[in-house]
Amino acid sequence: MSNMNMEPGAVELSDKVVTIKRVTKVVKGGRNMRFSALVVVGDQNGHVGVGLGKAAEIPEAIRKGKEDAVKNMVEVALDENSSITHDYVGKFGASEVLLKNAPDGTGIIAGGPARVVCELAGIKNIRTKSLGSNNKQNVVLATLNGLGKIKTPEQVARERGKSVEEVLA
């Protein structure tokens, strides 16, 4: 299918399931089993989102997670090396993820949950370190939080009322 007949701005999103958990609710008649799926979606061109879906069957939980992820997409500022423009520490709950920009040829140096988010955001060169809690859901959300807060030099210059050269000096 070609992108010609799609509305402008519509892009092909790829998704990855980070984790599937079986969750239980204890009720009067016994236990209710459900599945919780943590899904990351991205266009590999600077846009990425994370969603959580819960349902009685796994495929349905994944579908709900995808829908939730599309609603929670953020834009990531990338530089000419397909890396982030500056270092940042993303935080969510007790998880902290250190995101460091890297020169071309470094590749993605990241743990499982953070790696998925970076790959689907379209980042090719980055170094990350998970600090604090290693809960998969919180690490993914901390990574997304960090990537969403990164600014381009142009944005910083505009906010400070200076030229890009003054900011980079």
Nearest in space to 78 (alpha carbons), one of 106, 109, 47: 47
This prediction's pTM: 0.88
Residue 168 domain-assigned? no
pLDDT in tens, 60-94: 999 999 999 999 999 998 888 889 999 999 999 99
pLDDT in tens, 123-142: 999 999 999 999 999 999 99
Instruction: Give me the CATH number covering residue 40.
Output: 3.30.160.20
Residue 164 domain-assigned? no
Nearest in space to 22 (alpha carbons), one of 36, 41, 8, 1: 36
Number of domains within the chain? 2
Residue 162 domain-assigned? no
- Give the largest Cα separation in the chain, rounded: 68
Residue 131 and residue 142 in one domain: yes
Residue 27 structural domain: 14-74
Residue 69 and residue 85 in one domain: no
Residue 116 domain-assigned? yes
Residue 45 domain-assigned? yes
Instruction: Give me the residue label for tokens 């939730």.
Output: 68
Instruction: Give me the CATH number covering residue 87.
Output: 3.30.230.10
Residue 32 and residue 48 in one domain: yes
Residue 8 domain-assigned? no
